[in-house]
Structure 1
């Protein structure tokens, strides 16, 4: 663990808490959504701009040499060096619809490896944190551990749609994987945002999460939370996950092998 990363984590926590408080003021649980897609997209962009206005300067001042990535739909490898990968309102579509499952995330990625993260869920007042190499991930300061499930047929697993407008091939894989998991697991859930599901994997409330997409901002924070908590993070074929991977799997250790057996058959 890099000793300076602990200090940077404190900055990331301050940034996501500040942005979270601002977005909570904009949140209306009884929200009635715009009538058309253009209205929904406009509201999403307004939320992003408001959140970025609260967090960008805090993070860039703390690490001025680090790059900046705020597009929550991008995927793939970054250039070498450090980047702040932020999702100004993860689960933004939920915020716009008056649903509570939204949050703010900030993750420092160094040479394409997430090294620290802070994820704030303002409605639940929940804060997830992790630093690479510390061997612990916390929620509200309490260490998390994945579940002790040892068989997939006893497991709750989840997936989600990473972004609108996925390719037909991705939709096909998603549908086939859900069907396969319905046969193999106890319960299958499908929801967004991904980082919320990965926090639940890290804390042992659910047992696994997979996604047929490489959307970066939805995976880097949760991948670090799960791995530092003691879970297993790979692609759906069981190979080590990187930002270059086309898909993603995070599990409690005891069900990882079975989950890979189910998902690797989805060509």
Structure 2
């Protein structure tokens, strides 16, 4: 594998953005791990961080590079600040960046990446779990599978979960009046309803959450809604809280679940 650290300029955000990137590279080692490489049509996973994290946190807090060693999978880990994968009310368009501009830039810089829906994935934890599910529901034509680890996937109905983390002014700077989240394009439940109403093909969806996590109930509600809409999904829980011990373990489960040629 190759591990790259990149700084790119976002025209959408009008600022420099950092990326960590893992790319398949053919290696033949006498000591260590021999890996396979590919120069074309490489599957790609956009791996999103949560609040308090940045482009480096998955690499520092988990063994993600080791976990993907023999999967032939490229991993894109962008820094998205505290933007909640949303075009914020304060004028920073993080949703447009993550859903439109970033994939375009990555395909320019790394032309070996696939352009096929069925080999393009979004995965994230907490805030990033929200972002990954939002990408899958709002851009189903671009993603074959998405996974949320401990995601805030039902935030419109569980505003108290948000307010337990940050004050009202913070959230309204991102989403606007909190009572307006429900039924908006920032509400995963609404995006699910729209996807079904428009007859679009949903990506495969994976949800997981720790049994001691304060976001567990919201994940259960989302899983129930996916079942009611007959959307292909997997929902699993296990011991753990909102912590890296849980996410380091469950990102391995996500990689097993992804539709990769193994």
Same fold (TM over 0.5): no
Q: Which has the higher contact order (CA 8 A, sep 6+)?
A: 1
TM-score (norm 2): 0.29
TM-score (norm 1): 0.29
